[in-house]
Amino acid sequence: MADKEPQQPEELPIVLVHRLPSFKIPSDPSFRDQLRSQFHMLDPHESPEPYDSFLARHAPFIRVLMTIGPSPISAEFLERLPVLELIVATSAGLNHIDLPACWSRGIVVTNASLAFAEDVADCAVGLLIDVLRRISAADRFVRGRLWPVKENYPLGFKLGGKRVGIVGLGSIGSEVAKRLLAFGCTIAYTSRNKKQSVSFPFYANVRDLAANSDVLVLCCALTKETYHMINKDVMVALGKDGVIINVGRGSLINEKELVQCLVGGDMGGAGLDVYENEPNVPKELFGLDNVVLSPHCAVMTPESFEA
Amino acid sequence: MNNIGVLMTCPMSEYLENQLENRFNLFKLWNHSAPKPDFLKTHSSSIKAVVGNTKIGADANMIDSLPNLEIVASYSVGLDKIDLGKCKEKGIKVTNTPDVLTDDVADLGIGLALAVLRKICVCDRFVRSGNWINGDFALASKFSGKSVGIIGLGRIGSAIAKRAEAFKCFISYHSRSKKPNTNYKYYSNIVDLAADCQILFVACALTEETHHIINRKVIDALGPKGILINIGRGAHVDEPELVSALLEGRLGGAGLDVYENEPNVPEQLFSLENIVLVPHVGSDTEETSKAMADLVISNLEAHFKCKPLLTPVL
């Protein structure tokens, strides 16, 4: 951001940071600095004062609230902020916020959804290219000083022409589709409902999508219905050369069965940003060159948070 | 055609080797323990074709040692390892493998840029080391929307531009001359291009003019927040300058597929986290390797059957 004259804290717009104690503002120093240089951040959890009295004391001045992660906002909580006008959510989903209560108060709720969607889509595409073209494995090969010794490196697979099945064609899934079309992939999808305005082929269930795809990209929310939706059946349908990219939630996949398939050589590969029991990642995957592992950071860019 | 001698310069594709063995009398240069000049003298008169690649092509010495050489069919699109002047002088035909590898090289270019900016390889190392238990990974940098500069807007450069556009990147380029029919911004000066973009791709052919086209001036203009992606040739980049810029933090990062002295890579780079290093795999996919090999075979067969070459350079 441009160099600005540092303003007195009292003159800056006040933003309440609303978070469960376990969620933290991303620790990136430039992000924190930017927040602090432009806004007077009030964080009850960073104050020695008891939460209730801190909130009551500042409430008459709080017009903007920023939520960190899916920290819940209930109608009852909203009542404690009589002049609140704007809620900025830092997550893509909004189901932790009582939206009808906001709307009836005329409170605007916004999220960095598109910025997030772009970042997650970039991550998904990056993981897919890495798995097919073995970029991380090749980087290990070179840094391991193996190139002069082994001369040749195993071939990868072409991205163009691959049939990509997107699971969940929301904002993230749409951004993934846009990008992969430019690489010459064909797109099909499954979703709770067929999207009328979309021309990609629709499959009513994920197993049929898998049977007609070379790659599955998981971009949907985790719900009762989608829990473990990617199981051994689906992986078998996807085929021995199939690749799964997961930027949704770990529990979309039956992780035990995924590990079995990958270790057993029954799948082409996987690019994973999420896992069933983060930060624990099945160690059996560590020795595989056709797997790329990311520590749930699909959304972690400063530019995304600035949005 | 089984009595036609074809010389393959080095291992490049088992599939291609088999195909050549089935059709011609194949000589594999690397199998002969005698020094190359002696080997060439013994068999030279029967060799009518050379199949080379980016490692070993057909230089003046080789061409001079093969008096009956009629065609050089390169298993590559790049021609920098072939003495084109000599071939022209002697009426030797030259073919390469354009188009079939364009997508793969462009895919790799974008893949490297994503890997550098989003720290994909570093993340993977982080998870495999077991360190995620101890704390989250630091923020990476966004790829979408960044400004992209491309040196060389030929087949590969255009393919990179098309992909980057899907990420809403702003595209600029430098070329020998401005290209009609594009909306991308043209820069006649590479230093200016480097100063104005955040990700710079090298996608031009290697010629005398483009040798070390990425020099200290360009690197400094690209700057501490800039990323260099080289999917061209190692010699496009002044490698010692690149290494010192990376070590000193004057350049933000790099994704490299090619190096000045392959397979040797400057070891000082191995400890850096803002670079990704791959071993010249630009077109190394199952699908494309086969397509390239088929094209080499088709060109050779066309030549020896006196039919038009499919992808002639000369």
CATH of the domain at A47: 3.40.50.720
What pLDDT is recorded for position B43? 80
B233 is catalytic: yes
> What's the whole-number mean pLDDT along residues A109-133?
87
Question: Residue B90 is encoded by which pair of tokens?
Answer: 């002697």
Q: What's the CA gap between A59 and A53, in Å, rounded? A: 10
Catalytic entry in B163, B233, B236, B303: B233
Interface predicted TM-score (ipTM) of this complex, two decimals: 0.92
What pLDDT is recorded for position A238? 98
Domain end marker among A79, A111, A143: A111
User: Could you name the CATH architecture of B5-96+286-305?
Assistant: 3-Layer(aba) Sandwich (3.40)
Kindly give the pairing relationship between strand A108-111 and strand A86-89: parallel
What pLDDT is recorded for position B173? 97
What pLDDT is recorded for position A190? 97
- Is 70 exceeded by the pLDDT of residue A7? no
**Residue closest to B111 by CA, chosen among B173, B172, B163, B169:** B163
**Residue closest to A131 by CA, chosen among A293, A299, A307:** A293
Q: Which residue in B30, B103, B132 has the most chain A C-beta atoms within 10 A of its own C-beta, making it the best mutation to test that interface?
A: B132
Same domain, A71 and A91: yes
Question: Residue B141 is encoded by which pair of tokens?
Answer: 């940098």
The CATH code for residues B101-277 is 3.40.50.720
Binned at pLDDT 50, 70 and 90, residue A101 comes out as: confident
Domain end marker among A90, A111, A132: A111
What pLDDT is recorded for position A2? 40
> What's the whole-number mean pLDDT along residues A94-98?
79
A155/B133 CB distance under 8 A:
no
Whether A30 is covered by a domain: the verdict is yes
Same domain, A95 and A130: no
What pLDDT is recorded for position A277? 95
**Residue closest to B145 by CA, chosen among A129, A179, A38, A185:** A179
In chain A, residues with a C-beta closer than 8 Å to the C-beta of B137 are 295, 297, 300
Residue burial B144-179, b: 16+ Cβ < 10 Å; e: rest: bebbbbbbbbbbbbbbbbebbbbbebbbbbbbeeee
Give DSSP secondary structure letters for A235-255: HHHH-TT-EEEE-S-GGGB-H
Domain B5-96+286-305 and domain B101-277 have a common topology: yes
How many domains, chain A? 2
> What's the whole-number mean pLDDT along residues A212-226?
95
What pLDDT is recorded for position A46? 84
Same domain, A142 and A256: yes
Whether residue A160 lies within 8 A of chain B, CB to CB, comes out as yes
Residue range of the domain that includes A244: 116-306
Binned at pLDDT 50, 70 and 90, residue A45 comes out as: confident
What pLDDT is recorded for position A15? 80
- Convert the pLDDT of each residue in A10-20 to its tens digit: 566 778 888 77
Q: Cis ω on the peptide bond leading into residue B263 (within 30° of 0)?
A: yes
- Is 50 exceeded by the pLDDT of residue A42? yes
Q: What's the CA gap between B122 and A199, in Å, rounded? A: 37
In chain B, residues with a C-beta closer than 8 Å to the C-beta of A133 are 107-108, 111, 281, 285
What pLDDT is recorded for position B140? 84
Whether A7 is covered by a domain: the verdict is no
- A292: part of which helix (H) or strand (E)? strand A291-293
What pLDDT is recorded for position A108? 74
Classify A42 as helix, strand or coil: strand
Classify A257 as helix, strand or coil: helix
What is chain B's pLDDT, residue by residue, as a tens digit (314 residues)?
A: 788 999 999 999 999 999 999 999 999 998 875 566 677 677 888 999 999 999 999 999 999 999 999 999 999 999 999 999 999 999 999 999 999 999 999 999 999 999 999 999 999 999 999 999 888 777 788 898 889 999 999 999 999 999 999 998 999 999 999 999 899 999 999 999 999 999 999 999 999 999 999 999 999 999 999 999 999 999 999 999 999 999 999 999 999 999 999 999 999 999 999 999 999 999 999 999 999 999 999 999 999 999 999 999 98
- Convert the pLDDT of each residue in A79-92 to its tens digit: 999 988 888 777 66
Same domain, A280 and A234: yes
A68 or A212, greater pLDDT? A212
Residue-range domain boundaries for chain B: 5-96+286-305, 101-277
* Residue partners of A158: CB distance under 8 A and separation at least 6: A132, B103, B104, B107, B285, B286, B287, B288
- Convert the pLDDT of each residue in A152-198 to its tens digit: 789 999 999 999 999 999 999 999 999 999 999 999 999 999 999 99
- Convert the pLDDT of each residue in A235-294 to its tens digit: 999 999 999 999 999 999 999 999 999 999 999 999 999 999 999 999 999 999 999 999
Give the nearest partner residue to A155 out of B121, B136, B286, using CB atoms.
B286
Give DSSP secondary structure letters for chain B: -TTSEEEE-S---HHHHHHHHHHSEEEEGGG--S-HHHHHHHHGGGEEEEEE-SSS-B-HHHHHH-TT--EEEESSS--TTB-HHHHHHHT-EEE--TTTTHHHHHHHHHHHHHHHHTTHHHHHHHHHTTGGGG-PPPP----TT-EEEEE--SHHHHHHHHHHHHTT-EEEEE-SSPPTT--SEE-S-HHHHHHH-SEEEE-SPP-TTTTT-B-HHHHHHH-TT-EEEE-S-GGGB-HHHHHHHHHHTSS-EEEES--TBTTB--GGGGG-SSEEE--S-TT-BHHHHHHHHHHHHHHHHHHHTT---SSB--
Q: What is the greatest pairwise CA distance in chain B? A: 68
What pLDDT is recorded for position A4? 41
Q: Which residue in B16, B30, B107 has the most chain A C-beta atoms within 10 A of its own C-beta, making it the best mutation to test that interface?
A: B107
Binned at pLDDT 50, 70 and 90, residue A6 comes out as: very low
B166/A178 CB distance under 8 A:
yes
A297/B284 CB distance under 8 A:
no
Domain end marker among A111, A128, A161: A111
Neighbours of A142 (CB within 10 A): 22
Whether A8 is covered by a domain: the verdict is no
Whether A177 is covered by a domain: the verdict is yes
- Is 90 exceeded by the pLDDT of residue A202? yes
What pLDDT is recorded for position B212? 98
Size of interface A-B (CB pairs under 8 A): 177
In chain B, residues with a C-beta closer than 8 Å to the C-beta of A297 are 123, 136-137, 139-140
Same domain, A57 and A204: no
Neighbours of B61 (CB within 10 A): 13
Same domain, A180 and A35: no
Q: Cis ω on the peptide bond leading into residue B279 (within 30° of 0)?
A: no
Query: What's the mean per-residue pLDDT of chain A?
Result: 87
Whether residue A224 lies within 8 A of chain B, CB to CB, comes out as no
Same domain, A92 and A204: no
Q: What's the CA gap between B61 and B146, in Å, rounded? A: 46
Cα–Cα distance list, A175 to A75, A113, A170, B101, B202 (Å): 33, 11, 9, 26, 27
Whether A204 is covered by a domain: the verdict is yes
Same domain, A96 and A204: no
> What's the whole-number mean pLDDT along residues A30-44?
74
Same domain, A141 and A211: yes
